[in-house]
């Protein structure tokens, strides 16, 4: 038999409630120093962000529109926009099509992206934030 009313929810606590303070109302819990707020480590660039930046820079350098390049690459204009903003991970086929539409080979696009990553890495090292080897688990991409 249960002791609760049929239309009332029964609450089962997951933790036991804390004991009331000892006499005098003073809580005798050990004092812990407040933790200093941690500043998040600078975000590493994602490959898709770097590729998108290179695609956008090249398109703008050629003074071409998203529509023009998307049609030449045979991909949708919204998808190309998402690629340029680093919101989508593109397949190698899509990257090759976008590169070709810009008059580049896939190797050219990837080389420019790697150069962009190397510049980013060097600028972080110059500011004293981290070392390239620590940043990439022993893979130093900076040339």
What are the 10-residue block averages of pLDDT along the chain, 143 residues in total? 65 71 58 64 83 96 97 97 95 96 96 92 72 44 42
CA distances from 46 to 7, 23, 112 (A): 54, 57, 15
Q: What is the pLDDT of residue 6?
A: 66
Are 98 and 73 in contact, with CB atoms under 8 Å apart?
yes
Q: What is the pLDDT of residue 23?
A: 60
Query: pTM (2 decimals)?
Result: 0.60
Q: What is the pLDDT of residue 78?
A: 97
Q: What is the pLDDT of residue 138?
A: 41
Q: What is the pLDDT of residue 43?
A: 72
**Cα 143 to Cα 141: distance, rounded to the nearest angstrom:** 6
Are 55 and 85 in contact, with CB atoms under 8 Å apart?
no
């Amino acid at each position: 038999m249960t002791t609760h009313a049929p239309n009332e929810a029964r609450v089962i606590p997951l933790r036991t409630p804390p004991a009331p303070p000892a006499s005098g109302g003073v809580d005798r819990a050990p004092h812990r120093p407040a933790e200093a707020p941690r500043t998040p480590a600078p975000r590493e660039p994602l490959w898709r962000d770097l590729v998108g930046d290179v695609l956008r820079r090249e398109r703008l350098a050629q003074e071409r529109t998203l529509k023009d390049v998307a049609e030449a690459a045979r991909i949708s204009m919204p998808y190309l926009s998402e690629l340029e903003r680093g919101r989508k991970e593109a397949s190698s086929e899509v990257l090759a099509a976008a590169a070709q539409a810009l008059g580049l080979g896939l190797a050219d696009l990837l080389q420019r992206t790697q150069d962009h990553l190397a510049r980013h890495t060097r600028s972080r090292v110059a500011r004293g934030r981290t070392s390239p080897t620590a940043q990439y688990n022993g893979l130093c991409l900076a040339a």
